[in-house]
Amino acid sequence: MKYRAAILLWLLCCHFTVAAYEIRQVDVHRDDDAFRMAFEVVLNASQAGVYQLITDYASLHRLNDIVLESSVINEAGKGRKLRQMLLHSCVLFFCKNMRVLEQMEENGSNEITATIIPGQSDFHEGTSHWRVLPEGPGQSRLLLDSTFRPAFWVPPLVGIWLIKSRLQHELAIMSQRIETLVKE
C-alpha cells in the first residue's frame, strides 16, 4: 500500500513537470540535393523573450547543443548582421561539422531572415525565415521555413523520416530551453 502511494505521488510530480511547449508541425522534404524544413511550436514564453533569445547570436549554444560556435562578425545597421556558426549534427552514423555564414535581417520584433553566403559556408545556398508570433497570454508561436542545399554528400540511407525525427528531437530540446531561459 505504501508503494502505491509513493508511485502515485511520483507520477503526479512527473505530470506537473512536463514541458509546456507544443510541437504542432514538423515537415522535412528532399528534392534531389535540396532540403526544405518547416516547423511550428507553441512556447510558454513571451514573444519578446523568444525573439530576444533567438537573436542573441553569441549565445545560441544555450538553446541547442548542435551549435558549437556562433557569433556576429559584422553589423551593417538597421537589423542587418553577418553571422557565422559552427554546427555539429549526427543522424544515425552520419555526423558532420558544418560551417555557416549567413546574412541576417531582423525587423526588431518578430521576423528574422537568414541567407547563406555560398562559398564561405558548407552549403551551396539556403534561406531561413523565422517568425515569432503572439499566441496567448505569456505564450508565443515560433515558426521556421527553411530551404538549403548542402555542399556535402548526404547518404541516401539518411532518409527524410530520420532527418524529421532528429529535427523533432532538437526542436524539443530547444523549446524546453527557450521556456526555461525566458523565465530566468
pLDDT, one tens digit per residue, over 24-73 is 999 999 998 899 999 999 999 999 999 999 999 999 999 999 999 999 99
Report pTM.
0.85
What mean pLDDT do residues 76-88 have? 93
What 8-state DSSP symbol labels residue 17?
Answer: T
Count other C-beta atoms under 10 Å from residue 121's C-beta. 20
pLDDT for the residue 12: 46
pLDDT for the residue 19: 56
pLDDT for the residue 7: 44
pLDDT, one tens digit per residue, over 141-183 is 999 999 999 999 887 777 788 889 999 999 999 999 999 999 9
CATH number of 18-183, picked from 3.30.565.10, 3.20.20.80, 3.40.50.300, 3.30.530.20:
3.30.530.20
Q: Which residue has the cell 537568414?
A: 114
| Cell numbers that stand for 40 in this block | 511550428
pLDDT for the residue 2: 53
- Residues 131, 140: Cα–Cα separation, whole Å: 10
pLDDT for the residue 18: 46
- Going by pLDDT thresholds of 50, 70 and 90, the confidence category of residue 21 is very high
Q: Show the CA angle centred on residue 174, arms to residues 20 and 69, nearest 5°.
A: 160
What mean pLDDT do residues 82-92 have? 93
Each domain of the chain, given as residue ranges in start order, spans: 18-183
